[in-house]
Amino acid sequence: MEMMDMTTDYQNILVPVDGSETAERAFDKAIKIAMANKTHVDVLNIIDTRQFMGDMQDSLIGGDTIYQMTQDAEAYLQNLVGFAQEKFGFAQVDYHVRYGSPKRVISVDFIKDHHNDLIIMGATGLNAVERVLMGSVTEYVNQHALSDVLIVRTDLDNNKVK
């Protein structure tokens, strides 16, 4: 019996990024996989709105700060898209900024809206203390996502864990 290459079945890849080195390694691998399979990539940055809310659900910071965070996220994503176009000649990539809980947005909400069939993400973007306090987004997505999940632990060039 001949084995089917599953990688060619994916049509729409989601890559959540948070500015961490592991997320950018995942982005690089996603672009390579998308190029090999002639598929589309959505790169996503989530602004975690829970950090802005106090006990009474009043905003702790002003709209100007949230606006600036959104502008910074868009500039970061535009740089990634530009990198994909310049380094790899890959143009089938769109960027998105969302607000909310990264766990929920990545594993359910965004996938429902954009019909992603594969999530490629870094092993973690948090340090050890943040993982204990918040829980790993990657672990949550791996357990609850509505699509397949590929967790990237190695760098692109030599497949060694950094």
Measured in residues, the chain has a length of 162
Q: For residue 160, tell me if it sits in a domain.
A: no
Is residue 76, in this structure, part of any structural domain at all? yes
Of residues 19 and 93, the one with the higher pLDDT is 93
Higher pLDDT, 153 or 80: 80
**What pLDDT, on a 0 to 100 scale, did the predictor assign at position 1?**
41
Does position 4 have pLDDT exceeding 50, yes or no?
no
pLDDT mean across residues, the chain: 83
pLDDT band at 119 (very low <50, low <70, confident <90, very high): very high
Interval 75-94 mean pLDDT: 96
**Is the Cβ–Cβ distance between 40 and 13 less than 8 Å?**
yes
Burial of 117 (0-12, 13-18, 19+ CB in 10 A): middle
Can you give the pLDDT at residue 123? 82
Is 9 contained in some domain? no
Q: Would you say residue 145 lies in a domain?
A: yes
pLDDT tens, residue by residue, 20-42: 888 999 999 999 999 999 999 99
* Model pLDDT, residue 138: 86
Residue 63 sits in a domain of what CATH number? Answer: 3.40.50.620
Q: Could you tell me if 119 and 148 are in contact, meaning their C-beta atoms sit under 8 angstroms apart?
A: yes
Alpha-carbon distance of 20 to 126, in angstroms, equals: 8
Considering only 20-24, 41-45, 50-54, which range has the smallest mean pLDDT? 50-54
Is 26 inside any structural domain? yes
List residues bridging with 151 in a β-sheet.
121
Q: Which domain holds residue 25?
A: 15-152
d(CA 136, CA 128): 9
Residue at 47 is within a domain: yes
Residue 4 lies in a domain: no
| Long-range Cβ contacts of 137-146 (<8 Å, 24+ apart) | 137/16, 137/102, 137/103, 137/106, 140/103, 140/107, 141/16, 141/103, 141/106, 141/107, 144/103, 144/107, 144/108, 145/106, 145/107, 145/108, 145/111, 145/119, 146/107, 146/108, 146/111, 146/112
Domain count, the chain: 1
pLDDT at 160: 47
CA distance 30 to 140: 20
- Comparing 5 with 44, the larger pLDDT belongs to 44
The answer as to whether 1 is a domain residue is: no
